[in-house]
Amino acid sequence: MREAWIIDAARTPRGIGRAEKGALSLVHPQRILSTVLKALGDRNGLNTDDIDDVIIGCFAQVGGQGGCIARLAALDAGWGNQPPGFTVNRYCGSGLTAVNQAAMGIWSGAQHLVIGGGIEQMSSTPAVSQPTLFDCGNSRLRALHAQTHQGICADLIASMESVSRQELDTFAYHSQQRAAAAIEVGAFVRSMVPVYHNDGSLALDRDEYNRPDTTIERLAGLKPAFEGLLDIELDANGLTYRQLLERDYKGVEVHHVHHGGNSSGIVDGAGAVVLASPEYARAHGLKPRARIRAIATAGGSPELMLDAPVAAACKALKSAGMAIDDIDLFEVNEAFAVVPILFMRALGIDHAKVNVAGGSIALGHPIGATGAILVGTLLDELERRDLSTGLVTLCTGGGMAPAVIIERI
């Protein structure tokens, strides 16, 4: 089988995703992404005319993120006319899907140098966090699959699987502590590139969302975030999430246990990964940091929405001919604390191997970018700890999950 090598990975800092409040909210999203692309090109001496494709994940492809942001950001990076680009949407898994698509292009032999990454400026797309139905108004689909709100799904799954508020808050506390420790020792320095305004002034050079002073007591005092969504009228017929839950999960008592402190943060950010074929890398003096061992995508329950990462991980492991114990570190996106908790429970994984530098609860989740960012975070941690293999996976809207296994070279 052909190999796909990871040459490098980079990301921006994650800025608070609130208009006028976050440091990246006034930077054009094309510019946020082009900052990462330019940094990767410059520090690896890439001949950008050789780039076969720039594949970028983005969920909210509207406004400044509209058009084909992959191509537009490549142009903004000063890469000339040659590198083409296309944009993909797999909700929260968009960035990792882009990286996996890049690997597939190289595996096929049709491509030799591909960029996979993601971007999300959540401060400019407030509709992303609104309590809208995932069926986009398709009543026929709704009759088949009642796709509610992800936060309600998180509470529903926690209730069905007997995951307590205390367990969720404890996990969230550890995410904050691990992120703070990683920042303290400079664990993100290699991958992070600062973002500047058009006038050359600094926009952001550090992660902005994390709260290192978080305590268990403070988390315990936060009110549940999603209970108030149950009775919001979602259409002209007065449909509510409570009605949908009563239809499909009659008799299940939902305990509302997720809140802003044990759920992922709303942030702006971008990340990207350079992948190359061994032949191209050797011919052009590019030193690989890792190889892609396997990729996978799995579908799960659209109604529960957050339960596919286990299936995706198992699918990737089977493809690689590996067992769960062969993986040294895991990055499981912390969309909600219940997701990595159940991932660890289902596969018998010690928390010491999962999200060792913190996760989206502490650092934020720029939806389309997170998967690509996590690949870089995982690679940095494998190198920092002198370990070999790692796995990344994320739950996504619609009940899906992509996954990738990487191995250091």
Exactly one of 28, 174, 256, 365 is catalytic; name it.
Answer: 365
User: Of 373, 341, 313, which Cα lies nearest the Cα of 116?
Assistant: 373
Across-strand partners of 192? 11
- In DSSP notation, 132-165 reads --TTTT-HHHHHH-----HHHHHHHHHHHTT--H
Q: Which of 28, 92, 174, 256 is catalytic?
A: 92
Q: Which residue in this structure is represented by tokens 């703070």?
A: 180
Q: How far apart are CA 269 and CA 203, in angstroms?
A: 12
Q: How far apart are CA 389 and CA 330, in angstroms?
A: 9
- The alpha carbon of residue 101 and the mean position of all alpha carbons in its chain are separated, in whole angstroms, by 15
Angle between helices 94-107 and 370-384 (to 10 degrees): 70
Q: Are 296 and 42 in contact (CB under 8 A)?
A: no
With residues binned 3-state (H G I as helix, E B as strand, rest as coil), the percentages for the chain, rounded to 5, are: 40, 20, 40
Does 395 qualify as catalytic in the annotation?
yes
28, 256, 258, 395: the active-site residue:
395
Does the active-site annotation cover 365?
yes
β-pair type (400-408, 389-393): antiparallel
The sign of the dihedral angle between the CA atoms of 240, 244, 245, 247 is positive
Contact 334, 340 (CB under 8 A): yes
**376 sits in which H/E element:** helix 370-384
Catalytic residues: 92, 365, 395
